[in-house]
A and B are shown apart, each in its own frame.
Chain A
């Protein structure tokens, strides 16, 4: 990715099922082409994603999800559940070599990759840092939580002492797939309502920090700028082509739009 032309999939909003099908397709695209990918997207309708190995039946109130027609989809990345509303989400596909992190641990790769998010917040005059920088040495990290924003990890991004957004990875040999979200506005009550436990409330969003609501298009432009500045790369805007959409639809109908995958035990 450093100095490498990265494919950029322009911002658009899709259903939770479509979003995860597109992301899985992009992983296979990288396997074929070795071209890094950045995709930024929204969620319409709003939905909940759960981590690859999360127990959806245990951690979510599925009756409420059903009653309120909030789709639940399973990601290919780890971590906890996220209620996707009033946010922009990104996915990145690259290799350890692209990121010059072959000898780094997974946690250290988060540190390297998340630099562009920190730089993005700086464009709003916000000083973001990693959670480990705010905690005394010897602090205990790594308490996975059902709700992603309530977890507490070393390389979580923190502003003014509160976690903002979440990031999670999937690894396939030396390929890194990373998801992350930037919350633009709060979603009052939604976490407690749909996700069963562990909402410590110690998280924030862009509107709360800067006192205005940022349009997704503006956030997206700032994310793109910080990405290219961080990784010294150029972006090649390349929406999904028709044959690629066919592959996405195949993943959608065989996996992401069915509950075998989304609600697996």
Chain B
């Protein structure tokens, strides 16, 4: 599974990439592989406030609807509208073109509750045992 440096990861397999007080959010390569072909991404409304590790929105793969949790506390300031017509971008490019939402984050220190790439790799290897 591809794990990218420079991202933080949650145990529920979401990633966040922080740039100042903005943060893009998506699901990891492991998550997209596990879910299978993504058929729908429920883009959250811009302006929605969310707390760390609470439900941000939902995603559907073939016959399975799953929750997506927010890796950080913040407010949704943008969503990836390309996913409306091309949800498969989450499968093809989970870390880049398949980003789901951008948050304005309120507490960068919350990354202490997440994993960096090295820790996430270790976490994944534990799941596969």
Contact = CB atoms under 8 A, between A and B. Distances in A.
A106 B64 contact: yes
Nearest to A144: B39
Contacts of A151: 63
Contact of A53 (B12, B58, B67, B127): B58
Interface stretch (B30-38, B74-82, B105-113, B114-122): B30-38
Interface residues of B, number: 20
Nearest to B69: A173
Contacts of B42: 53
A78 B34 contact: no
Interface in A125-183: 142, 144, 151, 153, 167-173
Nearest to B62: A142
Contacts, number: 65
Interface residues of A, number: 24
Contacts of A196: none
A51 B127 contact: no
A79 interface: yes
B52 interface: no
Contacts of A52: 58, 60, 65
B34 to A, nearest CB: 5
Contacts of A170: 64-66
A167 B63 CA distance: 8
A161 B32 CA distance: 30
A105 B40 contact: no
A103 B127 contact: yes
Contacts of A102: 127
B33 A78 contact: no
B63 A78 contact: yes
B65 A106 contact: no
Contacts of B62: 78, 106-107, 142, 144, 153
Interface in A59-108: 76-79, 102-103, 105-107
Contact of A169 (B12, B34, B63): B63
Contacts of B34: 105-106
A78 B35 CA distance: 12
Nearest to B40: A53
A261 to B, nearest CB: 13
A247 B56 CA distance: 24
B127 A76 contact: no
A25 interface: no
Nearest to A105: B34
Contacts of B35: 105-106
Q: Which of B12, B39, B42, B62 has the most CB of A within 10 A?
A: B62
Contact of B65 (A77, A103, A107, A173): A77
Contacts of B12: 173
B67 A78 contact: no
A169 B33 contact: no
A144 B87 CA distance: 13
Contacts of A167: 63
B128 interface: yes
A171 B67 contact: yes
15 contacts: A52-B58, A77-B64, A77-B65, A79-B63, A103-B127, A105-B33, A105-B34, A105-B35, A107-B62, A144-B39, A168-B65, A169-B64, A170-B64, A171-B65, A171-B66
Given A107-B62, A142-B37, 16 more contacts: A51-B65, A52-B58, A52-B60, A53-B42, A78-B64, A78-B65, A105-B36, A106-B61, A106-B62, A106-B64, A169-B64, A170-B65, A171-B65, A171-B66, A172-B67, A173-B12
Give the 5 A-B residue pairs with the shortest CB-CB distance, closest first.
Answer: A171-B66, A78-B65, A169-B64, A52-B65, A168-B63
